[in-house]
C-alpha cells in the first residue's frame, strides 16, 4: 500500500471528520493534507501493521486529531493578539501620540534584552516566531518541561521589569506590541 492508495481511501472521510470538529472546509482540507504527510513520514511508529487499512485508519485519525489541536492552538494565539477595547479606551488609545507607543515598545525591547540569554531565546522563539513549546525544545535540544520553565521564569521577570515602568497593560499586550 502506498501513499496514493491511502489518500484515495481516506481523503474524503478524513476531511469530513475534521470539518465536523468545527473547522472551516478549506482549513480541514489543509489539516488533512498535513495529517497524511505526518502519518506517512512517521508510519513506522504506528502500533501494529500500518499496511493494514483498518489499523492505519485509526492511527491516521489520531494524527489528524493532533494536527487539529495544533491548528486550534495557533488560531487561539492569533485571536488572542486582538485587543478588545471599550469605546472610551479606544478614543484614549487613538488620541495617544505614537511616541508613547514607541516608548512602550522600547521599554519592552529593553526588558527582553535584560533577560538572561536562555530566557530571552525562548521568549523570542515562542512569542515572536510563534514556535510551539515542543518545537522550541527540539531546536534547543532540551526537554519540553525545561522550555516551559524558562518561559515561566521569563514571563515573571518581564512582569517585574515592566511593572517597574508602571503600566496597566498585561504581558500579553506588551508582547503583542513587540510583534
pLDDT in tens, 32-79: 999 988 888 888 888 777 777 677 778 888 899 999 999 998 888 877
Given a contact cutoff of 8 angstroms between Cβ atoms, the answer to whether 27 and 52 are in contact is no
The Cα 60–Cα 177 span in angstroms is 39
Other beta carbons within 10 angstroms of residue 95's beta carbon come to: 7
The total of structural domains in the chain comes to 2
10 and 69: one domain? yes
pTM value is 0.46
Q: Is residue 92 part of a domain?
A: no
Which of 47, 80, 113 is a domain's end point?
80
What digits encode the pLDDT tens for the residues 105-127? Answer: 788 888 888 999 899 888 888 88
Judge if 108 and 52 occupy the same domain.
no
pLDDT at 176: 57
Instruction: Dump the DSSP string for 13-50.
Output: HHHHHHHHTT--HHHHHHHHHHHHHHHHHTGGGSSS-T
- Residues 52 and 110 grouped into a single domain: no
| Residue corresponding to grid cell 530571552 | 120
**The pLDDT of residue 97:** 62
Looking at residue 168, what is its pLDDT?
47
Same domain, yes or no: 76 and 121: no
Amino acid at each position: 500500500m502506498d501513499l496514493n492508495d491511502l489518500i484515495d481511501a481516506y481523503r474524503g472521510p478524513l476531511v469530513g471528520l475534521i470539518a465536523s470538529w468545527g473547522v472551516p472546509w478549506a482549513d480541514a482540507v489543509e489539516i488533512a493534507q498535513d495529517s497524511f504527510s505526518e502519518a506517512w513520514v512517521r508510519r513506522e511508529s504506528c502500533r501494529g501493521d500500518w499496511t493494514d487499512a483498518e489499523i492505519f485508519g485509526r492511527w491516521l485519525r489520531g494524527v489528524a486529531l493532533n494536527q487539529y489541536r495544533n491548528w486550534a492552538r495557533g488560531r487561539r494565539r492569533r485571536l488572542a493578539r486582538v485587543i478588545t477595547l471599550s469605546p472610551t479606551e479606544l478614543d484614549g488609545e487613538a488620541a495617544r501620540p505614537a511616541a508613547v507607543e514607541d516608548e512602550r515598545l522600547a521599554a519592552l525591547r529593553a526588558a527582553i534584552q535584560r533577560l538572561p540569554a536562555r530566557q530571552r531565546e525562548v521568549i523570542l522563539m515562542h512569542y515572536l516566531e510563534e514556535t510551539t513549546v515542543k518545537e522550541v525544545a527540539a531546536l534547543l535540544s532540551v526537554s519540553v518541561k525545561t522550555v516551559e520553565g524558562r518561559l515561566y521564569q521569563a514571563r515573571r521577570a518581564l512582569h517585574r521589569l515592566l511593572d517597574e515602568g508602571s503600566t496597566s497593560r498585561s504581558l500579553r499586550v506588551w508582547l503583542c506590541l513587540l510583534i
